[in-house]
Amino acid sequence: MSYTTSVSIEANSEAIFNAITQSVQEWWGNTNSVVSKLDDEFTTSFDKTFWKFKILEFKPNSRIVWQCIDAKHIHTGYDGIEMEWIGTNVEWNLEEKSQNETILNFAHNGLVPELNCYEICWPAWERFVTQSLKSFVETGKGMPHLS
């Protein structure tokens, strides 16, 4: 089963969607561009690792899907993980409960326990999605991994 998580964020869906499309560097890692439409591409990186994504679905303030189209994932002690994300999809679904509360349902489809990186990737997503992104949207200060 692919990794999923949900988090309640004290913000409207527009603020969260903007953070996911325009401010990835504020809560995850160095990013080479922002996304504003279907088929846009961007790369996120830190240390010697990078992931390149293409936007497969783009529904403003509601849903966005990133597909990993290239990768070089480097983590000491983990062999064979460099390209494991290629072909996986990162899904962001926003369910606005009120003007000041939105549920973010996150799924990394293809990030499954059988992958060599699973034991380091799911806790990283948990931190970046439920803590760093949430903090960035609610307070303006995320906890990205920048290097």
pLDDT value at 7 more than 80: yes
pTM: 0.96
Residue ranges of domains in the chain, CATH in brackets: 3-139 (3.30.530.20)
Residues 6+ apart with CB under 8 A from 147: 30, 46, 47
pLDDT value for 146:
76
Where residue 46 falls among pLDDT bands split at 50, 70, 90? very high
Which tens digits make up the pLDDT trace of 95-137?
999 999 999 999 999 999 999 999 999 999 999 999 999 999 9
Is 67 within 8 Å of 58 (Cβ atoms)? Answer: no
Q: Say which amino acid occupies 103.
A: I
Give me the pLDDT at residue 83, please.
98
